[in-house]
Amino acid sequence: MFIGHHAAAFAAKGVAPRVSLGTLFAATMWLDLVWPVLLLTGAETVRIDPGNTAFTPLDFVSYPITHSLAAVLGWGLAAAILYRVVRGPWRDALVVGAGVVSHWLLDFLTHRPDLPLWPDGPKVGLGLWNSVPATIAVEVLLFIAGLVVYLRTTRANDRIGSVALWVLVAFVALIYVANITSPPPPNADAIGWVALSAWLFVPWGWWIDRHRSVSR
C-alpha cells in the first residue's frame, strides 16, 4: 500500500480538522518513514524477488520493529500520548494514534502473509498485491475518497493553498505510476535511500495546511 496511506491522512482531516496534514502524513506513513532507516542500518531486511507478488518485486524478509502488529500498537500508543502532551486534546491524539495503526491495517489488506503479529510470531496478509488491477483499483479509489474528504473539510486561503495541494497530488500519482512501471530496484540499499524521500511529505503537508482553513 502506498497512496492508501496518503488517503488515510487526507480522510483523517475530516475527523480531526485541527490536526495538521503534516502530522497526519507523519502518523499514517510512520512505519514507512522509520523502515528505510532500519533497512539501511541492517536492523530490518528486504530482498529483491521478482514474482514475489504480481504488484511488487519486494520480499519483506524481516521487519518486526516497524511492521509487527504488536510493535505498531506500541507506535500508535506512543504517537497518541506524544500528541496529547505536546499539542492537544485526547480526541485529536487518538486520531493520530489510529493513523499509525491504519498503516498496518492497509498493509494487511495488500501484503502477502509477511506481516508478523509480533516479533518472530505468525505472519498474516490478505494478498491484494497478487492482482495488479485489483490493487490499483482499491488504492486509487481510496486515494480519491480521502482527497474528497480533505477538500470538503478545508478550503484554500490563497493560491499556495491550492497549487501546493494539487502539485502534491500530481507528485504522488507520478510516483505511483513509476512504482508500477519501473524495473526492480538494483539492491536493498537503493530501496532504503529512495524510501527516505517519503519524509518530504511531512513538511509538505504542513505547508499546505498553513495555507488552508477548515471550511466547516
The number of domains in the chain is 1
Q: pTM of the full predicted structure? A: 0.95
What's the domain range around 108? 3-214
pLDDT value at residue 202: 97
What pLDDT digit, counting tens, does each position of 167-200 carry? 999 999 999 999 999 899 999 999 999 999 999 9
Region 19-33 average pLDDT:
97
What pLDDT digit, counting tens, does each position of 120-143 carry? 999 999 999 999 999 999 999 999
pLDDT value at residue 210: 96
> What whole-number percentage of the chain has pLDDT above 90?
95
Region 47-64 average pLDDT:
94
> What whole-number percentage of the chain has pLDDT above 70?
99
Side chain identity at residue 201, one-letter code? F
pLDDT value at residue 88: 80
> Is the pLDDT score of 1 beyond 80?
no
> Is the pLDDT score of 43 beyond 80?
yes
pLDDT value at residue 216: 64
